[in-house]
Amino acid sequence: MTSSCSRHQKSYRFICYQCNQLMCALCITKHNKNHNDHANQLDHIKEIKQSLDNLRSIDVPRQNDNNDDKHEQPTLKKQKLDSIVDNDNKNKKKNKDRKSIWNTLKSDTSRYESLTLTENEITQHFKQLYDYIAMEEYKLKKSIIATKDIIEHQLNNYINELKHLNSIIDLNNNFNNIKQNSNYNSKEVVKNEMKIENTTEQYSLESILKSISSCSTLQSFIDDNNQTLFSNQMIDDHPSVQEQLEQYDNDSLSLLLDTIYKYNDRFQPTATDRITDNTISRLYTQRPDFKQLDSIIQQSITLLTDNTTSYIFSTPSFSGAATLINLSNNNTVEQFSIDFDFSGTYSSIVAVGEYIYVFGGYNDPKKWMKFSIKSKSVEHIGDIVGIDVSCDLSACYDGKDHIYLVGDKQEIDRFNINTMKFEIYHKFTTIKYGKFSQVLSLMIFKGSLYIVGLENNMVFQIDLTRKTLKPHIIGCKPFTACHDDNGNLYTNEYSKKQITKYNVESKQVDTIDIPEIGDELNLMYHRESPFSSFIYSFGGCDCGNFKYSIESNKCEPFFEEDTFCRHISGSVSIKF
């Protein structure tokens, strides 16, 4: 592709994003006449370059920027800023594409890691089955293998003994042959001793057993192996006949007698030499019922297609609106107009199934709302009756039929999601450790209700069965808080750039430094997958929105295009 216009012989300097066409300065006039609706899609290379430089300067600030700004005229500075804004607006499509690609990369990475984890879990599950089957196989074969080892040891002893017996016979036969020939020549005897190649295969137990099975008599077995097992040279440390005779002054009878003596001395029979138990294990097998086995496996593990979508339902402060952020679809945003004031609901929004429940607020403390994620509409707005309403309510779901509510009235209330009725669960006449302050977060964990209060260094544990109260020192004074429904409380102190994690079981306290966190933010916990969880902080257009990865210990901006203030209203994550 050339870098200049073939029609006007001028360099390309413009691009139309709508047509994806390069143009020179003269092409622009005709293009605007033919496509007057493309005017906002045209861009000059210098403006593109300036916009890209601006993006780079955000990530890598120039060292001399501060000094240059001091000496720059206000009018010139304003012109420069206006130019930057104008360029950024013209390149908004590129910036959105860049961000969209990044969001897709993050989403696909999360999915890939989740699939890898599921794959490993399947492997570990079936490994338990493999290990169980292998152990059952070992149990059945254990006694058989032990008996085979004993027999193998005994066979080797018998073969070795037979070798020596055969050696005695061969020695005697050699002497007889010498006498019959009436001329003794020791060199001839040595000559007749054949050199046999020693191979592993010839002396393996498998070969020996095969030979024993195929031979009907001992002699045929010896003859079949006379060049291998029963060759004199195959006996350990067996000297030649000549060498043996020389040791006995060529007295063959003395040699023969001493050989028999050594044999008897080496192979003394004992009661344990031979196996007296000839019991043979008989195996009975039946073809496994694979249908039953398949049923057992299916009951133990099932791979379900997760068609759920993760959302964040966030509410702006001082506004009858709600924001639905689709975390499963590149954080796409939907805005809803709702006739409900969410100010002061920072800890009174709860997700149950497809529904989101909102209780109270600063301006309408006696109101509650039920919103359906499925229909994306309000299903009910009603009055809170039957309990002493508090301005600052905090709510949590018990996983069954009730949402528990606590305010500053020194009582625990609850809402039945089936009957949609409110009731007083327990009222404290006196609290030894002081009154409940403004409640920031509630968590139900293993039969207890945990209460985190504003700037209170104690977490109250209430046994929901015995209705007893016990305080726990957490070492900080929370300004905002959230929890993971699994025993961990996350709190943030005002003006401190950190989050404190407190485990209600171990009582362990961990501090996490997060420089990006603001002063007036509402915290919300979201579990993305079994290995990935986040703490979201919502400050809206005033303080910014962030999400902090617990596993990777990284914080990044979130929902940067937010136009609402959110620091005194609530948010909740929901899957449907």
Question: Tell me: the pLDDT tens digits for 244-266?
Answer: 788 888 888 888 898 888 888 88
Q: Among residues of the chain, what percentage have pLDDT more than 70? A: 83
pLDDT band at 51 (very low <50, low <70, confident <90, very high): confident
Q: Helices in 182-217 by DSSP H: which ranges?
A: 186-192, 205-214
Q: What DSSP state is assigned to residue 234? A: G
DSSP 455-497: T-SEEEEEETTTTEEEEEE-SS--SEEEE-SSSEEEEE-TT-S
In this prediction, residues 525-541 reach a mean pLDDT of 89
Please give the Cα distance from 336 to 343 (Å, whole number): 16
Buried b (16+ CB within 10 A) or exposed e, 337-366: ebebbbbbbbbbbbbbeebbbbbbbbebbe
Contact 473, 453 (CB under 8 A): no
Q: What DSSP state is assigned to residue 408? A: S
Which amino acid type is present at position 475?
G
Structure tokens of 429?
């006449």
Return mean pLDDT, the chain: 84
Which amino acid type is present at position 199?
T
Residue 535 CA: distances (Å) to CA of 18, 222, 460, 489, 532: 40, 83, 22, 11, 11
Tens digit of pLDDT for each residue in 495-506?
788 899 999 999
Q: Could you tell me which residues come within 8 angstroms of residue 438 by beta carbon, excluding any fewer than 6 positions away?
A: 392, 408, 453, 454
Q: What DSSP state is assigned to residue 409? A: S
In terms of pLDDT, which residue wins out, 392 or 233? Answer: 392
Which amino acid type is present at position 262?
K
pLDDT value for 76: 47
Structure tokens of 180?
């019959």
How, if at all, do strands 321-326 and 332-337 pair? Answer: antiparallel
pLDDT band at 533 (very low <50, low <70, confident <90, very high): very high
Contact 327, 311 (CB under 8 A): yes
In this prediction, residues 103-111 reach a mean pLDDT of 81
The three-state DSSP-derived secondary structure of 55-85 is: HHHHHCCCCCHHHHHHHCCHHHHHHHHHHHH
Contact 382, 390 (CB under 8 A): no
Residue 445 CA: distances (Å) to CA of 336, 396, 503: 33, 11, 11
The three-state DSSP-derived secondary structure of 309-322 is: CEEEEECCCCCCEE
Which residue is listed with tokens 């000559």?
191
Show the CA angle centred on residue 212, arms to residues 208 and 194, nearest 5°: 60
Please give the Cα distance from 452 to 437 (Å, whole number): 9
In this prediction, residues 432-441 reach a mean pLDDT of 74
In this prediction, residues 49-63 reach a mean pLDDT of 64
Contact 58, 557 (CB under 8 A): no
pLDDT value for 328: 87
pLDDT value for 101: 84
Quick check: 294 pLDDT over 80? yes
Tens digit of pLDDT for each residue in 205-238?
888 999 999 999 999 998 888 888 887 655 555 6
Q: Between the ranges 92-96, 111-115, 383-387, 493-497, where is the mean pLDDT highest? A: 383-387
Q: Between the ranges 112-121, 352-361, 469-478, 534-543, where is the mean pLDDT highest? A: 352-361
pLDDT value for 249: 84
Q: Lowest mean pLDDT: which of 57-61, 344-348, 473-477, 484-488?
A: 57-61
In this prediction, residues 79-89 reach a mean pLDDT of 50
Please give the Cα distance from 250 to 267 (Å, whole number): 26
Q: Among residues of the chain, what percentage have pLDDT more than 90? A: 43
In terms of pLDDT, which residue wins out, 461 or 58? Answer: 461
Please give the Cα distance from 399 to 460 (Å, whole number): 20
Which amino acid type is present at position 172?
N
Structure tokens of 37?
């609706």
The H or E element containing residue 336 is strand 332-337
Structure tokens of 77?
């500075």
Residue 107 CA: distances (Å) to CA of 404, 454, 517, 548: 34, 35, 23, 16
Contact 521, 543 (CB under 8 A): yes
Structure tokens of 22?
């390069």
Show the CA angle centred on residue 368, arms to residues 382 and 569, nearest 5°: 150
332-337, strands of its sheet edge to edge: 332-337, 321-326, 310-314, 571-575
Contact 321, 569 (CB under 8 A): no
Tens digit of pLDDT for each residue in 465-478?
999 999 999 988 99
In this prediction, residues 321-341 reach a mean pLDDT of 92
Quick check: 59 pLDDT over 80? no
Q: Which CATH class is domain 310-575?
A: mainly beta
Q: Rg of the chain's alpha carbons, rounded to an integer?
A: 45
pLDDT band at 183 (very low <50, low <70, confident <90, very high): low
